[in-house]
Structure formats: C-alpha cells, structure tokens
Amino acid sequence: MIVSYALKGKVGVITVDSAPVNALSHAVRSGIANALTTAATDHSMAVVIICAGRTFIAGADITEFGKPPQEPSLNQILEQLDNHPKLTLAAIHGTALGGGFETALSCNYRIALKSAKVGLPEVKLGLLPGAGGTQRVPRLAGLGPSINLMTTGNPIAASQAAEWSLVDRVVDGDLLTEAVAYAEQLVAEQAPQKQARNGQLILSDADRDAISQQRELMRKKTRGETAPQRILDCIEAAELDFDKGLDRERELFIACMQDPQSTAMRHMFFAERAAAKVDNLPKDTSLLNVARVGIIGAGTMGGGIAMCFAQAGIAVTLLDMSDDAVNAGIEKITKNYAISVKRGRLSEAQVGGIMANITPTSSYNDLADMDLVIEAVFENLAIKQDVFKTLDGICKPGAILASNTSYQSIDEIASVTSRPESVLGMHFFSPANVMKLLEVVRGAQSSDTIIATAMAVAKTIGKVPVLSGMCYGFIGNRMLRPYAREASLCLMEGATPAQIDGAMERWGMAMGPLAVGDLAGLDIGYKAREQLTDEQKGEPATYIVADRLVEAGRLGQKSGAGYYRYDPDTRQRVDDPQVMTIVESACQELGISRRVISDDEIVDRLILALANEGAKILEEGIAQRASDIDVVYCFGYGFPRFKGGPMHTIEAMGLERAVARINEFQSTLNPGNWQLATILAELAASGDSLVGYHRD
C-alpha cells in the first residue's frame, strides 16, 4: 500500500510508503486525502503522518511537472490538514524537503529524528515553495531563517529547525513509538491545534533593508536567476493576511513553473542522476572495493585529487619524485585547508582527521597495495607511459590504474601495460577539490568492472561522474575547442575581449572565454600548440593573438596580464589597450579587416559551435546521452544551470532555428568550422527531441 492508515490506540497513523523518496505523486496525494477523511470521523484523538523507507516525503513528484494536474492537488491536501478536526503531527526522518516539509508545516506539530533534515530546495529547480512554505515559515521562524532556507535551498538539521520553531521535538529513538507517545501527551495536555497560518510577520525597517540587501546578494550569487527574487517577493507578502499571502505565492509559483529557467533546472536535476548510469552494463557487474588510493603527482591537480579522497575518509598515498616535491604538495594542501578553517568551513579537528588520511612518499613501492592509482603528472604522453609501465610492474593484480589526463589517449597509455583492462581515465577539473565534474574515460579495453567502480567512487567522493568514450579532449575539452575558436575569431573580426566576455557573461556564463583563458594560463595552450603541426593547429587567426600575448610575457592572471591587466590586490580584470594593439597588428598580418560584431552574433557563434560539437560527440557515441553533455558543461565549465546545458539550450531555441543559424554561419564564415552535425539536421527535420536522443 502506497498510503496506509491504522489506529494505534487513540492515534490514527498515516504511513506513506512510496519508494524511492515518498514523493507526492498523485497516488500518494490521493492516499493521504483518503486517510485524512477517514481520520476526521473515526474515534482517533490525533493523527500522525509518517513515512516508510529512507525518508519523509522529499517533495512534490518532479516527474509530474508539466503534465496535466490531477486532483487532489497538494494545496487541497494542506487545506484538509488546516481544517482537520483532530490534532495532527508529522513524524520526520531522512530529508523532509519541498512539498514534504510544507506538508509537515501544515500539521499542528512536528517531531523529528535527530538525524533528520528539513529543507525547501525549490530554488534549485528554478521554483519556490508553492504549497504555503513561503507563508508558514516566516510566521513560524521569522525573516532570517526564511531567507536562509528558501534562497539557499539547503537543508538544515532537525536541531536547527527546532531552534527556529519549525520542529517541536527532536528524538533519538524509534520514531513511530516516539510520535504516538508525543501525540498522546499533546492530547492529554489538551494542547491547542496550533497553526502556522495564525501567525503574523511584521517587517521592521531593518528587515526591509535586510531583504533589499538579500536581493542585491542574490543578483550576484545567482546571477540571472529569477526564482530567488520571486521568493523574496513571497516573503514580503507574508506580512499580508494569510490567504492573500497564499494567493501571491500561487501567482509567483505559476510564474516560476512557466519560466524556461525552471524547465532547464528540472532537466538538470534528472540529467545529473541519469549521468551516473552506464548503459548496457551487465546487471552482475561487480564493484571493486576502493579503500586505498595512490596519487602520482603532488602538484595542483594531484594535491586537489588527494583532498577529494582524504575528505571522503579514504586512505591516500601521495607520491612525487622527491621528498621535497611531495612535501611541497602536502604544504599546499595544508594551506588550502587553513583557508577553509579561516572561513569556518572546516574545524581544525576535521582538517587534522583529513590530513591523517594522506601519506606522502617518493617511493613507487608504497603503491604496491593500492586499490586505485590516479596518475596526475605533466600532460605528456611519453611521461605518462613511463609512469604506467612502472605501475604495471609494482601494483597488485586487479588494481585500477587511472590517468587524470585532459587529452591523451587512454588506449596508448594502456598499451604499455600488461593489464589494459584495468586502465581508464579519471579526468578531474581544476581546482579538483572544488569542481564537481569527473569525466570517466573508457578505453577500448577498460573492463565493465573498473568503469562501474570508477562511477561509484566518483559519487563517494562527491563528484558528478559522466562517462566518456575516447576522443581528443573527451567530451568537455573537445567541445571547448570550437567554443574558444569562435571567441578568438570574434576578437580578430571586430570585437574586444570585454565585449566577448561581457556578452557571454550577460547571457549567463559564469566567466567569459577569454577571462577563462587568463585564469587557466595562456601558456598551457601555447605549450600544447608547440606539440602540434601547423595543420593540426588550425587557422592562424584562432591562436595568433594568444601566441603573441604569451610571447609578450602576458600569461594571464598568473603574470598579472593576459587578455586583460589584473589588479594585483583585487584581481579585478581591467581592459588593456595594449591587447588591441596586438590584435590589430595580427589582423594586418593576416589581412583581416575588422567589422562591428553584435553581442547576439558572439553568443550565437559560441553557443552553437559548442552545441554542434556536442551533437557530433553524441552521434559518435562518445557521450551516452545528450543530457550527459549538459551535465559536463554545467558542472565543469560554468555553463548556467538555468539554461540547462548546451544541448537543452539549442532544444529550447528550436532545432530548426539552431540549424538555420549554423547553416548561415557556414555560408558567411569559414565553412570548415561550421559542418552541421548530421543528428541536428535529422532531428530538426523530424521534430524529434535532441535531449531525449539515445543512440541505439
């Protein structure tokens, strides 16, 4: 039974049992409504709502969004609760989120396990709490907690919820027993059927200032997103009479539901979860136990990767070529954590525990017993092959040998070992201890077991894994090349760095492409190009300025100047006329005459170049699904989640329009750069969905 009802003495117990997270599907809502109707007239003195499985109700059923609404709606359920003749009590375990927490807030009382959390994460879906949460929380907890809960969307512990009068009792024992006992106690004490709706939010001038400040803060923190501002509008409406406040919430909730941003962010919710799944993996594929991890290279990447595993409580052996080198790496990690302690993110004790998980060494023999070894040395194939030859001779049978390479062939690395089935790519993104994306790169001979294990390990260390096949640059960096190419060409053809980056940032990118180049270091691309033939480099206009900047010592932020000059204190970028001098002389050298380029052209060229390459990656089977490509860009490259990723973006634009624009670029720009992906032409013609596309 999805929802069952039974009397325990004088207490009616409604139990929701709808795996995986007791989401408020139509069946769950109907079951609760029927149980509340029964409880209204039976001889129960109080009603408890509790859930089976791992959590209390985790929200509305997101899979039902966009479909025709079916009664009873959640608001009808909550109205039933508001008017119920019996004392109602929500018994919370796991994570009571969104509409689940709003259901609990509509009960007279709330009891929670100490381990439970509550939250209103709707903002992460481009929504707002649409079942009275924006009106009940301010009346129960006041302005500060309301702003915190609803604009961050992060859950809070039961103890914090109790402090904010959002939970009445926190217990440690058997939840059902405790809940029935609490209900009986409340009845015996003739406790009132208190209701959040009867409260009143009074905003002082200081409160109104706080809301204005929060609006400013959200404009920066969630740049471009509409839901946070609408949430603050709802909180302001909590000063009104409750029903008027509810009307305002309803109006703004519908605005959110109809906003393309929410469609995009809901797409990302499911895309992130789908990405963790490996197609056609035999059901009986075993997972290897990963308790000890070796990392080779104590530089920026190796150190960041070591932090990921150590923070997850996994023993790490960090190796570099000398004690000095590995100790320098340990020192850098220590400095990173000192910043986290200073910012209050971690305690000294926590850092001590994490650092105790990291053992430095300069001897490969210490890696003999590792379950997984991740190589993070210089981006050079020969050097990586030497490392893997050594590992092959030292590591125990069955150890997983992974490379953190950004571009090199996993197959060529595996070919120097006697165990190619144990070799794969685990491509982290800098800074590795911060960026969520992890590309798991499958070599031709990588076994199902190590692929499945790497995908599972990624989740253990808090990463978002995406499986990639083998090609130059895998998914993300391969797409980055046409994106960066068009940025360079727009610069040569008439735009300035500020215009290009400004256009992309106004569109929604976290950082414009040229500023990203300065952040990463222009010398990285320069050194990579030195290893390429002129033909491999592509048209000189795509890299001549970057080369000239590096040759002028302008490596980017690390040297204080690149496409911009950087303020030494604030690291703010400043336009530098010297750069345009370099650009104009390069244009003369290549015979390029500059013209006015609109922001729209810049955005279309960069986004369509990105998506067109993504479509090719999809049709080549390098990516399992279009939504995986969206996950790569939103979690690894600062693509705005409220746009849903490159593939969702062109789907939302309309594939016909996207294809027409690409064909226009093919006839007006360098045609070689604008070969339309076959799949885009086919889907534009058939009208089928790109994001739903799944290679057979």
Range 251-280, binding ligand T1G (CB under 6 A):
273
Choosing from 72, 130, 145, 646, the residue that interacts with ligand T1G (CB under 6 A) is 130
Q: Is 228 in the site for ligand T1G (CB under 6 A)?
A: no
* Segment near ligand T1G (CB under 6 A); pick from 92-100, 238-246, 295-303, 393-401: 92-100
Q: Is 541 in the site for ligand T1G (CB under 6 A)?
A: no
Phi and psi at 226, nearest 5°, equal -90, -30
| Cβ distance to ligand T1G smaller for residue 273 or 694 | 273
Nearest to 81 by CA among 60, 108, 58, 119: 108
Least gap, CB of 167 to ligand T1G (angstroms):
18
According to DSSP H, which parts of 1-42 are helical?
Answer: 26-41
Distance in angstroms (rounded) separating the CA atoms of residues 636 and 411: 24
Distance in angstroms (rounded) separating the CA atoms of residues 276 and 651: 22
What is the secondary structure of 666-677 as a DSSP string? HHHS-GGGG---
* Segment near ligand T1G (CB under 6 A); pick from 8-16, 122-130, 280-288, 666-674: 122-130
| Token reading at 321 | 């070529």
In eight-state DSSP terms, residue 680 is H
**Residue located via tokens 């070969």:** 675
Bridge-based pairing of strands 358-361 and 372-375 is: unpaired
Q: Is 102 in the site for ligand T1G (CB under 6 A)?
A: yes
Choosing from 11, 13, 16, 23, the residue that interacts with ligand T1G (CB under 6 A) is 23
Q: Is 166 in the site for ligand T1G (CB under 6 A)?
A: no
Dihedral sign, Cα of residue 350, residue 96, residue 17, residue 113: positive
Least gap, CB of 568 to ligand T1G (angstroms):
42
| Cβ distance to ligand T1G smaller for residue 74 or 89 | 74
Count of residues interacting with ligand T1G (CB under 6 A): 24
418 with 445: CB under 8 angstroms? no
Taking 3-state DSSP, the helix, strand and coil percentages for the chain, each rounded to the nearest 5, stand at: 55, 15, 35
Choosing from 12, 31, 72, 99, the residue that interacts with ligand T1G (CB under 6 A) is 99
In eight-state DSSP terms, residue 334 is H
380 a catalytic residue = no
| Cβ distance to ligand T1G smaller for residue 158 or 504 | 158
SS3 of residue 565 by DSSP = strand
Q: Is 476 in the site for ligand T1G (CB under 6 A)?
A: no
Least gap, CB of 241 to ligand T1G (angstroms):
21
* Catalytic residue (one of 44, 427, 446, 493): 427
238 with 245: CB under 8 angstroms? yes
Distance in angstroms (rounded) separating the CA atoms of residues 550 and 521: 9
Least gap, CB of 657 to ligand T1G (angstroms):
31
Q: Is 20 in the site for ligand T1G (CB under 6 A)?
A: yes
* Segment near ligand T1G (CB under 6 A); pick from 119-127, 196-204, 217-225, 278-286: 119-127
Range 27-66, binding ligand T1G (CB under 6 A):
58-63
593 a catalytic residue = no
Choosing from 13, 113, 125, 452, the residue that interacts with ligand T1G (CB under 6 A) is 125
Least gap, CB of 250 to ligand T1G (angstroms):
11
What is the secondary structure of 262-294 as a DSSP string? HHHHHHHHHHHHHHTPPTT--TT-------EEE
First to last CA, the chain: 37
* Catalytic residue (one of 22, 75, 406, 488): 406
Q: Is 582 in the site for ligand T1G (CB under 6 A)?
A: no
427 a catalytic residue = yes
**Residue located via tokens 């509509």:** 106
470, 512, 513, 642 from 505: Cα distances, Å: 31, 6, 9, 13
Phi and psi at 54, nearest 5°, equal -85, -10
Least gap, CB of 25 to ligand T1G (angstroms):
8
User: Is the link from the previous residue into 431 a cis peptide, with omega within 30 of 0?
Assistant: yes
Least gap, CB of 406 to ligand T1G (angstroms):
28
Half-sphere exposure of 318 (CA within 13 A, CB side): 32
Range 272-331, binding ligand T1G (CB under 6 A):
273
Length of the chain, in residues: 696
292 with 369: CB under 8 angstroms? yes
| Token reading at 592 | 């390029």
Q: Is 97 in the site for ligand T1G (CB under 6 A)?
A: yes
SS3 of residue 175 by DSSP = helix
Least gap, CB of 178 to ligand T1G (angstroms):
23
* Catalytic residue (one of 357, 403, 477, 627): 477
Q: Is 129 in the site for ligand T1G (CB under 6 A)?
A: yes
Least gap, CB of 456 to ligand T1G (angstroms):
13
* Catalytic residue (one of 439, 486, 493, 613): 439
| Cβ distance to ligand T1G smaller for residue 63 or 668 | 63
| Cβ distance to ligand T1G smaller for residue 269 or 407 | 269
439 a catalytic residue = yes
Interacting residues with ligand T1G (CB under 6 A): 20-21, 23, 58-63, 74, 95, 97-99, 102, 121-122, 125, 127, 129-131, 133, 273
Catalytic residue list: 406, 427, 439, 477
